[in-house]
Structure 1
Amino acid sequence: MMWGIDLPCSDRSGAPRAVRPASAGDRSRTPGFDVRPAPDERPGQAISATITLIGADPSRLPRRPRKPDPTTVQLARVDRPDGLTESRLRPVRSATKHRRWPKSGPSSPPFASSTRVECGPVAVRIDIQAFHDSVPSAVREASTRLLATGGVGDLELTGGGIQAVVLDRGTAVQPWVGIVAGNFTGECDCGTADEDLCAHAVAVALTAFDNDVAFSGAATPPSAVSVSPDHEDYLQAAQRLAPRQLANLVAGHAVRDRLFATRLLAEANMLHGADHTGLQDFRAVLRDASNATTGRWEISDVEAAGHRLASEVEILCARPASLAMLDLVEEAIPVWDELSGHLRDAYHIARTEPEEITDSLLCAHRDLCDSLDLDPEDVTDRLNRLVERCHYELDISGYIDLPLG
């Protein structure tokens, strides 16, 4: 499931300083790409593929003869001590001469330096054709089918790699691909025992290439992410359940918990912008909150209305973001601002801080602005209108990381 890739170190200026050939100890799993040399090539001879370093400033590189730009690596068959062969990416001096750099000796590769430098993650782009040609034909055909049927969901950047939900004949899996310790690695929960990348991982990789995704040179796969002990216990418990057991347990919890139910439907892509159920539910709660002080009421009624607003806005925002949702939240903030005055007047008996509810509503508003990728001037105008409509000060520090006009 891996390609051996050795990435150049960089100093704090971002310039590549040294590149070393990959060693067998750099990898924890054995790759299994079906790469055969051409008739005029001997085993171990290289097939060219290109990785482009992103972010390096060529004008700041040390002057060296035959400086390759971009850095070139080659896909080669290498004999292992156990009698097997593997495919490795090895650096070369130029894109036209297939000569590997020696591990030691008087000759030094371009950018070599004896100075100790700090190595950091390097963004790389991989030659799509070289990757495509290295995949076994059966896996390539299966991945092509997945792409043709729209089986690959939205790409998600995580841990320096890319993952996506893939629907394969009614079964959903979530493969992840990335570069780990110099190796192009894939993980998938499909249960494929082959050492090659599975068709799901290949489909995600090709989708990422088509979208010009630059992979980090130091990614962390999902299996290596540390989790809290409690979370780990629940993961192990879920993995011990049969699929039907787990499905029934999840469905039963969704019936009792509306927030969980909404998140479940959102993760399954079963919520759509045309579904106005969430808007109707929140509008009803907002109407009840507006009437909380009508007739006979107590401070506890105001507190209950506020907590219900906070709970419902979380459920609302678990749905796909829309301008209608944003407008509705902007209606709710002044309504609560008006109600919060009663809590401020009765601070000696109130059990709820007004800011608890205000912060929940503002957080939802901020997240919606971010999700909708609004124009900075639009965000600024919306905030100014909210400030003008509210009697009490709004803490808008959470909007600092959003571009404002």
Structure 2
Amino acid sequence: MAGAVQGLESGYGGANADVTADAGKRYPVWVGVIDGTLTGECDCQAARRGAALCPHGVAVALAAVDAGLRWAPAPARDAERTDGKAALATLGPQEKAALLDALLRAHPELAAEAHALAVRILDPRTTGHRDHGADYGELRDEVAAGVEQALRDLDIRNMHTGRQPGYGYVSPEEAAGQMVEEAIERYRQDLRRRLKLGLHQAAQAVGAGIIAGLRACEGTYDGDEVLCYAGEDLAENYGWTVREELRKHGLQLPVQEDDDEE
């Protein structure tokens, strides 16, 4: 015998009750439908062995039917209660990219507008402002600030010198140079993608920003920093790749931006 059912009530999308077994032990039991299957939760040995519905659960289910108990509706899923606008605002870059891909797949009619917006983001001259020079100046300043901050954030504790597996002996100067190269690589990639798209003025602004950020870090070292080992002329030593990328496309940095330009 499953035992006597007491305290029968609706709850959590099903029915709750206490079932007292013949031996006098009381089991709190819940019964409800999960994925189309009548399921129970109980602490008895049968439930622990994996039974979807133990004898105590059967007793509660039958008692609920006999009592005409109106089972409580299943609680709303979290996704149904979440504010979609707030969720959108919290998405990171990769999640936003995935969202855009999904949106364009679902609504291909938005592709033309998305393409125009992409160009507008990458090239300030398409924003509709009259003073395009000011727009490119803002892009240059933004890149310069980003490069300078990235270089000043380099932590000497991450500089691996001495004998390194697969590299042999690495001097402090070599290790510092590698860290500088890695810090500015994202900006060089930005330069290359704009050149590939034919956004030459925007690419020149990015290149000028990289050089300006490098130059801003010259001669301002304080104590034992990575930049102390990276060389004195950062704009010359690490900016030459920027100049080369521009030259490949018949471009150069504005004269006022690059004192090293021939």
TM class by smaller structure: under 0.3
Larger Rg: 2
**TM-score, scaled to structure 1:** 0.19
- Could you say which structure has the higher helix fraction? 2
